[in-house]
Amino acid sequence: MSTQVQLEIYEGPLDLLLHLIKKNEVSITDIPIASITEQYLATLDLMQSLNLDVAGEFLVMAATLIHIKSKMLLPPEEDGEADDDEDGDPRDELVRRLLEYERFKDAAEELQKREILRRDVFVRPPEPAEEAGAIEFERVSLFDLLSALRTVLERFPGEAVHEVVLEKISVREKMTLLLDDLRRVGRVVFQSLFEQAASRLEVVVMFLALLELVKIRAVRVWQEERLGPITIELAAAADEIQEKIHEPGGVDDGA
């Protein structure tokens, strides 16, 4: 039986595109559509192979990217032959949507920062002096985690995600092990979670265990800088989470 964990994906296809654009350090207004489309489809394939609950809008965006890519591969139309509606760069509408969405996200993040500042100034009690200069950490998205996972999976190039499905590896067990490790050492780097993994499936199950722990807010993940190492640490409520992990039906082990 294959390992299957259904998780809600709060980021959408525009989030994935913005992630890929920033990762490749290219401009939104001049997207290398062939390369970005290839990476988008590869990420989508990885999400589906992990049994993540991929919404239809991801597939719609995939079709849109393929359509834009095909149009850009066509030779330029002779003067007067192109339809008025076809004039301009095929990427223009996508660029407009991305710029608009990026502005929306930036505004939302700014409002969130102001709310945190208001809470800390007017509600939160004084913190110890050593925390006064705390670093503002980068938010880690699902797509940051998937990019890091892809790097780990390169150690097992000959195995497909579902080829080793008979191994008895429990998501619930991996969740408990990870929580125990974090209680002992405080925090770990993402890559270290997979150092002892003997197979691609074991990597995948640990990754799904991490996603489950993030989902139930037992752990938090962050980076000191964008595209830097991903750090995982125990959240304040993690000690109360063991009962949820072991509740019947709480986690679909699948193995």
The pLDDT tens digits of the residues spanning 123-163 come to: 444 444 344 344 445 678 889 999 999 999 988 876 555 54
- Residue 92: its pLDDT value, please? 95
Reported as a single tens digit per residue, the pLDDT across 189-202 is 999 999 988 888 88
- What is the C-alpha to C-alpha distance for residues 33 and 90, in angstroms, rounded to an integer? 10
CA dist 11 and 16 (Å) reads 7
CA nearest neighbour of 53 among 12, 105, 1:
12
Q: Which of 18-22, 60-64, 168-172, 216-220 has the lowest mean pLDDT?
A: 168-172
Residue owning tokens 């207004």: 29
Sign of the dihedral through C-alpha 105, 109, 114, 115 = positive
Q: Report d(CA 131, CA 153) in Å as an integer.
A: 37
- Per domain, the residue ranges of the chain are 1-134, 136-255
Match 């500042």 to its residue by tokens: 117
Query: Can you tell me the distance from the alpha carbon of 40 to that of 62, in angstroms, rounded to the nearest whole number?
Result: 7
Q: Give the model's pLDDT for residue 168.
A: 52
CATH of 136-255, one of 3.90.870.10, 3.50.50.60, 1.20.210.10, 1.10.10.580: 1.10.10.580
Q: Report residue 86's pLDDT band, with 50, 70 and 90 as the boundaries.
A: low
Q: Is the pLDDT of residue 252 over 80?
A: no
Judge if pTM exceeds 0.85.
Answer: no
Rounded mean pLDDT, 228-244: 74
Q: What is the pLDDT of residues 158-178, one digit of tens each?
A: 655 554 444 456 888 899 899
Cα–Cα distance for residue pair 49/250, rounded to 1 Å: 22
pLDDT at 19 over 90: yes
pLDDT of residue 131: 42
Region of residue 141 (left: phi > 0; alpha: psi -120 to 50; beta: else)? beta
Tell me the pLDDT tens digit for each residue of 26-76.
999 999 999 999 999 999 999 988 888 788 899 999 999 999 999 998 876
